[in-house]
């Protein structure tokens, strides 16, 4: 079994820098009224980015293998959050927005399905803790 590692270093208050096996650093911070300097992304927000980046990478890879050209691709994520501590996500909705010429719904549905049910490890982990739903739009362009 492979092991992944991460190190988190406090810079000041609740401002942290984190680095993983890839060797890249990312900053995390909180609001000023909570001891942060409001200078970086919040840790929970990273979960949304991880989910979007993971499934987005899969979808683009699958579409590329099918030789489907995208003029633009965007993923919008919305998460419901509890109001009491610990404040956790209870549901995440992923909206995929494809822009291109003659993109077929069946190809889009297949790419998303493969990502969400077979390839995206972030989806596999998060769906054990919350509902993850999705939708998509195709915007026709030249």
Number of domains making up the chain: 2
Ranges in the chain, pLDDT < 50: none
Q: Give the pLDDT confidence score for residue 50 in this predicted structure.
A: 98
Each residue of 51-76: pLDDT tens digit? 999 999 999 999 999 999 999 999 99
Cα–Cα–Cα angle for 126, 130, 131, nearest 5°? 105
Each residue of 88-101: pLDDT tens digit? 999 999 999 999 99
Residues 29 and 71 in one domain: no
- Name the β-bridge partners of 9: 17
Residue 122 CA to residue 77 CA, distance in Å, equals 14
Look up the domain containing 33 and give its range: 1-41
Q: Give the pLDDT confidence score for residue 68 in this predicted structure.
A: 96
Q: Give the pLDDT confidence score for residue 96 in this predicted structure.
A: 98
Residues 26 and 96 in one domain: no
**Residue indicated by tokens 């195709």:** 138
Residue 28 CA to residue 11 CA, distance in Å, equals 10
Residues 53 and 31 in one domain: no
Q: Give the pLDDT confidence score for residue 142 in this predicted structure.
A: 79
- The rounded Cα 50 to chain-centroid distance in angstroms is 4
pTM (two decimals): 0.93
End-to-end CA distance of the chain: 46
Residues 81 and 97 in one domain: yes
């Amino acid at each position: 079994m492979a092991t992944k590692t991460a190190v988190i270093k406090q810079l000041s208050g609740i401002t942290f820098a984190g680095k993983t096996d890839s060797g890249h650093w990312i900053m995390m911070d909180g609001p000023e009224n909570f001891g942060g300097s409001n200078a970086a992304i919040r840790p929970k927000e990273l979960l949304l980015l991880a989910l979007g980046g993971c499934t987005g990478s899969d979808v683009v890879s699958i579409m590329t293998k099918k030789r489907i050209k995208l003029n633009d691709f965007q993923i919008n994520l919305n998460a419901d959050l509890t109001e009491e501590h610990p404040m956790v996500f209870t549901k995440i909705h992923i909206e995929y927005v494809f822009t291109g010429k003659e993109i077929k719904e069946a190809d889009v549905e297949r790419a998303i399905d493969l990502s969400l049910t077979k390839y995206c490890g972030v989806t596999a982990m998060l769906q054990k803790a919350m509902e993850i739903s999705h939708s998509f739009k195709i915007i026709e362009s030249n």
